[in-house]
């Protein structure tokens, strides 16, 4: 009897423990881990920004934007609120229409864009949206930072400046339109068009051969670069159509770590100074998968440019891919480590060009052209150390040194009005270590021009080329050894 009396309290205690465990189990099951953190609340109807995915299809589908949480726990039991996984805020969309933009082309939407930029700049992972159902006109604007990380400027509609110099506000800068300055991590992208309205600028009488009877008149001739990036880093420009710029379409000044991918740039072949992409004092640049047709250089690389990689780019019509011009007004110019691969150049005045002024200093070195196809190009391969815009320049005793230039797997056709290969180097600072391998250039029409031009050019023909380049000299001139004027960093 005593043993049974002792067992009863033990049974009651065990039953209470089982019941307590069962009650606690309701709160710790699988359903309890499906949403361990709260999402940011949706913006209200009157808010000026909203979560991506609510109504903006283009942004929501971008691979750069994280998908919405579907409620299922991630593999391995790790949830976003765990310390091991950093929290990624959902992007907020700042539609310029919410700030007063009309998108009616004739209206001035400048202030709406500036207000939307200020708001987006202050929020992490923000998207400033130019919607697809409008044409937005804004005047000269500088979008400056610093901004919060992850900022995207998304152009899905049409964005353009005022139509020509007569419509340009007198107080606005006539040398630039959109400027992105002092930014880290900006992405400019979209499925829309940036329209430059450049025709009236091209026809100014101060432009080459635009005056009476084909003359060029003196006087102020400022025309705006369409899009300029200044003193910025970690930039992405992707997927846009950009056309009819008054002058340069894109210009990168003082930037680093730049990715340009999938652009379509277009202006007429007779539009003056409409370089597609210009790079200057900028390093670590990648330009990929783009098509550029314009009235000047397809891609131009200015002084202070290092580590530029160009791949799968189609150029033409235009003036080809150019390094320079460099050394103007007896200045020092330095360019190093430029690679052009798998490019196509069609119906162009030039193909692969390096151009420097007499009287400069510094060097161009480490240049590789590999896998380039030419189609009806007038000057396929050209180094010109006597570059001069009006042909009245005097020869000088100093020059920018051009060295370590490689041409490999360059094939196609040339316009027989000019020799396909032209090396005109300085008497006092010759070109050195110019190498050629697997170069085959044939006439687009007419007879073969088999007389490449060489002047003060040193290098080697590593394989037989068409036409043969037997005019390259061996060795390195003694005058170039330990010359301090030719040194760069």
- Do 284 and 325 fall into the same domain? no
Same domain, 334 and 459: yes
Residue 222 located in a structural domain: yes
- Domain-embedded: residue 313: no
Q: Is 65 part of a structural domain of the chain? A: no
Please spell the DSSP secondary structure of 161-208, one letter per residue. Answer: --SSGGGS-TTS-SSEEEEEES-BS-EEE-SSEEE---HHHHT-TTST
Q: Based on the domain organization, do 148 and 263 belong to the same domain? A: yes
User: In terms of domains, do 136 and 263 share one?
Assistant: yes
- pLDDT above 60: residue 33: no
Q: Tell me what pLDDT residue 161 has.
A: 98
436-to-141, 401, 409, 412, 465 alpha-carbon distances in Å = 46, 19, 9, 15, 8
What pLDDT is stored for residue 90 in this prediction?
Answer: 65
Is residue 42 domain-resident? no
Instruction: Please check whether residues 179 and 328 belong to one and the same domain.
Output: no
| HEC assignment per residue over 276-321 | CEEEECCEEEEEEEEEEECCCCCEEECCCEEEEEEEEEEECCECCE
Averaged pLDDT for residues 345-360: 95
Cα–Cα distance, 295 to 244 (Å, whole number): 10
Give the total number of structural domains in the chain: 2
Q: What is the pLDDT of residue 47?
A: 37
Q: How many helices (H) and strands (E) does the chain have?
A: 4, 31
pLDDT, one tens digit per residue, over 47-96 is 334 333 333 333 322 333 333 334 444 344 433 334 455 555 567 999 99
Can you tell me the distance from the alpha carbon of 232 to that of 282, in angstroms, rounded to the nearest whole number? Answer: 10
Average pLDDT over the chain, rounded to whole? 84
Q: Among all residues, which ones are annotated catalytic?
A: 319
Whether residue 70 lies inside any domain: the answer is: no
User: Does 466 lie in the same domain as 326?
Assistant: yes
Average pLDDT over residues 309-320: 97
Judgement on whether residues 392 and 256 belong to the same structural domain of the protein: no
What does the pLDDT look like over 227-277, one tens digit per residue? 999 999 999 999 999 999 999 999 999 999 999 999 999 999 999 999 999
pLDDT above 50: residue 210: yes
Higher pLDDT, 299 or 68: 299
pLDDT per position as a tens digit, 415-461 = 998 889 999 999 999 999 999 999 999 999 877 777 788 999 999 99
**Co-location of 291 and 224 in the same domain:** yes
* Residues found in the chain: 489
- Structural domain including 446 reads 318-489
Contact between 10 and 16 (Cβ < 8 Å): no
**Closest to 64 in 3D by CA, of 151, 147, 181, 155:** 151
Kindly state whether residue 125 falls inside one of the protein's structural domains.
yes
> Are residues 208 and 128 part of one domain?
yes
Residue 16: band (very low, low, confident or very high) from pLDDT cuts 50, 70, 90: low
Give the per-residue pLDDT at 35.
Answer: 32
Give 465's pLDDT tier (boundaries 50, 70, 90): very high
Report the CATH number that the domain containing residue 487 is assigned in CATH: 2.160.20.10
281 and 323, same domain (yes or no):
no
Same domain, 292 and 346: no
CA distance 398 to 362: 10
Quick check: is 3 in a domain? no
Asked if the structure places residue 55 within a domain, the reply is no
Average pLDDT over residues 187-202: 97
| Distance (Å, whole) CA 134 – CA 157 | 6
């Amino acid at each position: 009897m005593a043993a049974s009396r002792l067992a009863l309290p033990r049974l009651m205690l065990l039953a209470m423990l089982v019941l307590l465990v069962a009650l606690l189990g309701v709160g710790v099951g699988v359903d309890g881990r499906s949403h361990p953190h709260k999402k940011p609340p949706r913006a209200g109807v009157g808010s000026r920004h909203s979560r991506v995915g609510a109504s903006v299809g283009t942004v929501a589908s971008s691979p750069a934007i994280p998908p919405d949480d579907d409620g299922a726990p991630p593999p391995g039991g790790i949830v976003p609120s765990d310390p091991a996984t950093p929290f990624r805020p959902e992007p907020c969309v700042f539609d310029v229409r919410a700030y007063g933009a009309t998108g009616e082309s004739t209206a001035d939407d400048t202030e709406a864009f500036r207000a939307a930029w200020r708001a987006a700049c202050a929020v992490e992972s923000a998207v400033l949206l130019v919607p697809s159902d409008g044409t937005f006109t804004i005047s000269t604007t500088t979008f400056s930072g610093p901004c919060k990380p992850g900022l995207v400027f998304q152009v899905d509609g049409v964005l353009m400046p005022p139509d020509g110099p007569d419509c340009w506000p007198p107080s606005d800068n006539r040398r630039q339109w959109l400027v992105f300055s002092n930014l880290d991590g900006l992405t400019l992208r979209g499925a829309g068009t940036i329209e430059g309205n450049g025709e009236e600028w091209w026809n100014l009488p101060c432009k080459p051969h635009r005056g009476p009877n084909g003359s060029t008149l003196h006087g102020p001739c400022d025309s705006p670069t369409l899009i300029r990036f200044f003193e910025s880093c970690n930039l992405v420009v992707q997927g846009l159509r950009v056309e009819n710029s008054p002058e340069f379409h894109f210009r990168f000044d003082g930037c680093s770590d730049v990715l340009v991918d999938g652009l379509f740039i277009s202006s007429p072949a007779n539009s003056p100074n409409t370089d597609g992409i210009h790079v200057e004092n900028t390093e670590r640049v990648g330009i990929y998968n783009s098509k550029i047709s314009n009235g000047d250089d397809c891609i131009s690389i200015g002084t202070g440019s290092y580590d530029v990689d160009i791949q799968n780019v189609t150029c033409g019509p235009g003036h080809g891919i150019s390094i320079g011009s460099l050394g103007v007004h007896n200045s020092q110019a330095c360019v190093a480590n430029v690679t052009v691969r798998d490019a196509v150049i069609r119906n162009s005045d030039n193909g692969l060009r390096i151009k420097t002024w007499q009287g400069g200093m510094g060097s161009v070195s480490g240049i590789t052209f590999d896998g380039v196809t030419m189609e009806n190009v007038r000057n396929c391969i050209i180094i010109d150390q006597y570059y001069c815009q009006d042909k009245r320049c005097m020869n000088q005793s100093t020059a920018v040194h051009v060295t370590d230039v490689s041409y490999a797997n360059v094939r196609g056709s040339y316009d027989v009005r000019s020799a396909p290969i032209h090396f005109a180097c300085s008497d006092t600072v010759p070109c050195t270590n110019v190498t050629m391998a697997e170069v085959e250039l044939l006439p687009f029409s007419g007879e073969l021009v088999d007389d490449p031009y060489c002047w003060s050019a040193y290098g080697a023909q590593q394989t037989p080329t068409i036409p043969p380049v037997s005019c390259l000299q061996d060795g390195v001139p003694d005058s170039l050894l330990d010359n301090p004027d030719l040194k760069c960093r």
